[in-house]
A and B are shown apart, each in its own frame.
Chain A
Amino acid sequence: MPVITTRNLSKVYNPDTVPVHALRNVTLTIEEGEFTSVRGPSGSGKTTLLNIIGGLDKPTNGMVVINGTTITGMKDSKLIDFRLNNIGFVFQSYNLIPVFTAYENVSFIMLLQKRSKNEMKARTEELLEAVGLGSKLHSRPRELSGGEQQRVAVARALASRPKFILADEPTANLDTASAMNLLDMMERMNREENVTFVFSTHDQRVIERARRVITMVDGAIDSDVQQNGDRKYAEE
């Protein structure tokens, strides 16, 4: 079963005044274990697509199925719980709760899921260790660099054991070294733990690291190619 399926997604902003077609008929399937990048010029609909897949926004037409569950039309409160247990989010910046330490930011998600104390502690330490922040467990976000903050955000996204992680331009505010570092870490998670990643980006060096690259133009999928050669996808 694919992790993500979208069918004929379209999104029109301001339908009554100046309609903006942010998405046009996007049909897409993402399987478990993918490491997929969505690219395209500014305004091409990348963020809109990720938001709709993540249940943060509603499509004008079409539907989204996550792991067999149709989330389109789901009630807001149910959707919040669904997101908590199925989707990990990494935003462009300021992802973290500023008054919480790295450790608390990560374990808070598991608290929301009502996991046991022992599990929370073990997994938080393991994840922060895995993203290379084992020595900064108790630093607050403002004591961390942008790259470190994003790594905490990835650790937090993973903490809830989601089906996949959506990251909208996770490297946009990072310098090259930090961006590559974050990518290394994400790649390793993907390889070693089979975590599915879908991320949007402008950055050519980041695009090169993906194994599948979906290119958006004007709200539609312009091309969908596999690269780095280890898996196969049908090209549209």
Chain B
Amino acid sequence: MSMYLKLAWRNIWRNKRRTLITVSSIMFAVVFALFVESLERGAGDLFIDNMTRFHTGFIQVQDFRYEDEPSLDNAFFYDEDSFSERITANDSHIDFTVPRIETFMLAAGAEQTRGAMVMGTDVSGENRLNNLEDRLTEGRFFEPGDGTAVLGEGLAGRLDLAVGDSLILLGQGRFGMTAAGMYEVAGLVKHPMREMNNQLVYISLHDAQWLLSADDHITSLLVTPEHVRYADSVAEMLRSRLESDELRVLTWEEMMPELIEAIEFDRAQTRVMMLILYVVIGFGIFGTILTMTLERLREFGILLSVGMRRLKLALVVFIETVFISVLGVLSGFIPGFFVVLYFHYNPIMLGGDMEELVQEWGFEPIMPTALAPDIFLWQGLIIFIMTTVICFYPTIKIFSLNILNSARN
């Protein structure tokens, strides 16, 4: 075998310049493709990650009426111990759950009044979901039932409130009960989603349930699977276990369909671009293989004359093509890896329209690249498949070669 490899290896260097041009075109395509794919994956992942962690969670359990009418009247009975016992039985891939009760109320400081989104939650769970405590810019978080609140910085600014001041919440509780309470501001958070930052008031679940006359009720239970990839199977499991309770289980994909669509659309656009790039590169490789084949027909004829089987000859040419593409892919992987690595840790700052769009959603306008081995694998695979397809040409040529005609000239 080693002699065939030697033959193939030396053959590709018969025209050094041509091979180098082909190899570098593959290299640039690979670097470019790796960068674009990783960037898109990274930006998409970050976006989804932000949205799920700070907004919807990965899976939510709600009363089945809540989506159409998100009111406290459609909260559901939740007893932590019995509920979690039911859903976490037999290795369910559930990591943890966070109960939330949320509603809109009026928030007032000494001078100002604003609409606010009041979220009664369990701080430790919330923190596991999105490291909320790291977002604390001042003060501390509350203990369950201690009568304090944590505000989004934006809202605190509008209400002119600082840590230690009093916040008044006013609104409606469950079934039309009046809800009013006063809370000491224990801390301020900088929520990454601007909308939230300007509206959010966190109080403990216990305080909220009491304020809203909703003892033992929550509006949603956020379920976090051990890994995103379990989201669907966990949701499925929850559905079957909670079927009878008039509860509904939604995955993040179901909660944010427009977002998924936008991301898919983006991906489709990139795919088309990649396809064009690969067609161009493919023709480049094909051109090289074509000339490498045509200028050696006489040599092929002699090899067949002296007794080399056509299949073996085709194999040598295939190895040549593989050598060229492997060289291209590997020489693309190395700089590609460092490019992706660099932009992972030094994400691109968005500008212009994109920046506004992303900030609209309330996120940092950055695009880090994803460090995903499968992107590299895919690139390698695509080039390999392309190479194999290109090899049909010399193979057909070798199998249909008329020994006499080729050996003659």
Contact = CB atoms under 8 A, between A and B. Distances in A.
Interface of A: 51, 54, 56-57, 77, 80-81, 83-85, 88-89, 91, 94-95, 97-100, 104, 107-109, 111-113, 156-157, 160
Contacts of A99: 7, 10-11, 14
A83 B305 contact: yes
Contacts of A84: 306-308
Nearest to B309: A80
B14 A97 contact: no
Given A51-B404, A54-B305, A80-B304, A98 B299 contact: yes
Q: Is the interface of B mostly helix, strand, loop or mixed?
A: helix
A26 B407 CA distance: 24
Interface residues of B, number: 21
B299 A57 contact: no
B3 interface: yes
Interface in B284-321: 298-299, 302-310, 312
Contacts of B303: 97
Contact of A77 (B6, B309, B403, B407): B309
Interface of B: 3, 6-7, 10-11, 14, 298-299, 302-310, 312, 403-404, 407
A89 B306 CA distance: 6
Contact of B310 (A77, A85, A112): A77
A156 B308 CA distance: 13
A2 B404 CA distance: 26
Nearest to B408: A47
Nearest to B304: A80
A98 B303 CA distance: 12
Contacts of A85: 307
A98 B14 contact: yes
Contact of B308 (A51, A80, A91, A107): A80
Among A83, A99, A157, the one with the most B-chain Cβ atoms within 10 Å of its Cβ is A99
B307 A100 contact: no
Closest 7 CB pairs of A and B: A84-B307, A99-B10, A83-B307, A56-B403, A111-B3, A89-B305, A57-B404
Contacts of A95: 302
A100 B309 CA distance: 18
